Structure 1
Amino acid sequence: MAPGKKILGEERRQLILEWLQTSKEPLTGSELASRTNVSRQVIVNDITLLKARNEPIIATSQGYYYFAPPAPEQWFERSVACIHEPEETEKELNVLVDLGLLVKDVKIEHPVYGDLTASIMVSNRKEVTQFIQRVNETKAAYLAQLTDGVHLHTIAAKEERTLDEAEAALKQAGFLLVE
């Protein structure tokens, strides 16, 4: 591609899709904009159009992922109820990723809006650090701050016993919400 030449419309969306499908790391809107010589807002619009075509693209604080869900027989998922202070978020996420889990999302039950879910998609300490840095840089509030620290995570692992280990580790760390 010649420097400064914009990649237009459908050709750009196909390239974005290919890059996301082949990347092992998330790609930021700014990076995609730079590669295609368009604005980040054009990329945001392209991602929206690709999602409307049912492409499994997930926006996270680290960038965009192409997330083809693993085959059901290979991965197990569970929701875990947690409670902690905002400054304990990094420790909580590290407890989970250190077991080899994928923390897919965080959910809260808001009194007005009902269930609110936000994608996290972290599976190692580097991704946790990037997530926490992004929250701190943007001065964003954690969803759990709206519910006095109470929230759910969807966690995924290749073995069900790893999910059991995760619950035990959360309980030991004081993060598991128990009656």
Structure 2
Amino acid sequence: MDNNSRRKMIIEHLSNSTKPVSASFLAELFCVSRQIIVGDIALLRASEHNIISTNRGYILDDIMRKKHTRVFKVSHDEMRTEEELNIIVDFGGKILDVYVIHELYGKISAKLDLSNRNHVQNFLECLDGNANKPLCKLTDNVHYHTVEAESEEDLDLIEKKLVEGGFLIDEK
């Protein structure tokens, strides 16, 4: 792998990481010395990549990793929860939260952070129907999801699939 390819791969790896990445890890990943990686990072910074050094490794500044978010108002019965969540994650979305607007209590929300089918499955296993019920039970199945994606196009596709599935409520 040449130097430029390695540097592109470093940026790609940092942009996909949710936590700091150490120079030692990158060195092992690309089969070079730690000093080579330190030099690569210096060159990448000089070429206007906003890489931040932390005591645990390197991260890209959030400006470089800007995500797009959209809130979807949806409704379905409990039997279709898995289908709805899988549509979102299958088409590149990360479900940040779920919330309802309750007539008496106002907005009630819960953080979810579901980004793949395994996360969805783990969440569903916690909804046993007895003690743990979905928030939408408080509002006749109407609820909202804040969804994050890499692009507006991904969010548009998720919206289209939710409409096709009969999940999305049009607020217009």
- Same-fold status (TM-score > 0.5): yes
Structure 2 alignment gaps of length 5 or more: 1-18, 21-60
Q: Rate the CA distance shift 1:106–1:125 in 2: closer, same or farther, 3 A.
A: same
Residues 123/149 of structure 1: CA separation in 2 closer, same or farther (3 Å cut): same
**1:143–1:137: structure 2 CA closer, same or farther, 3 Å change rule?**
closer
- TM-score, length of structure 1 as denominator length: 0.59
Give the number of the structure whose alpha-carbon radius of gyration is greater.
2
Report how far residue 87 of structure 1 moved: 1.6
Partner of 2:57: none
Give 1:124-139 correspondences, 5 Å limit.
124-136=116-128, 139=131
5+ residue gaps in structure 1? 1-20, 23-69
Q: Which string of whole-angstrom CA distances, capped at 9 and with x for unpartnered residues, describes residues 130-177 of structure 1?
A: 000011287411101111111110000011110011110000001001
- Note the C-alpha offset of 1:74: 1.9
Q: Matched residues in 1 for 2:76 and 2:160: separation? A: 16
Q: SS of 2:128's equivalent?
A: helix
- For 2:146 and 2:130, the matched residues in 1 are separated by 24
Which residue is equivalent to 1:67?
none
The separation in 2 between residues aligned to 1:115 and 1:137, in whole angstroms, is 22
Amino acid at match of 1:141: K
Give the aligned residue type for 1:71. Answer: D
Could you say what secondary structure the match of 2:111 adopts?
A: strand
Letter of the structure 2 residue corresponding to residue 114 of structure 1? G
The one-letter amino acid paired with 1:166 is I
Instruction: Measure, in 2, the Cα distance between the counterparts of 1:128 and 1:81.
Output: 19
1:107 and 2:96 aligned: no
Partner of 1:117: 109
Name the CA distance, whole Å, in 2 between partners of 1:155 and 1:118.
Answer: 13
Q: Does 1:88 align with 2:80?
A: yes
One-letter amino acid of the counterpart of residue 142, structure 2: V
The answer for the alignment partner of 1:178 in structure 2 is: 170
CA RMSD in angstroms, aligned pairs only: 2.3
Kindly report which structure 2 residues correspond to 1:134-173, keeping only aligned pairs within 5 A, or say none.
134-136=126-128, 139-173=131-165
3-state SS of 2:127 partner: helix
- Structure 2 CA distance for aligned equivalents of residues 139 and 132 of structure 1: 13
Cα deviations across residues 56-96 of structure 1 (Å, max 9, x unaligned)?
xxxxxxxxxxxxxx825620001011000012111100000
Please give the TM-score of this superposition, normalised by the length of structure 2: 0.61
Aligned match for 1:71, one of 46, 62, 85: 62
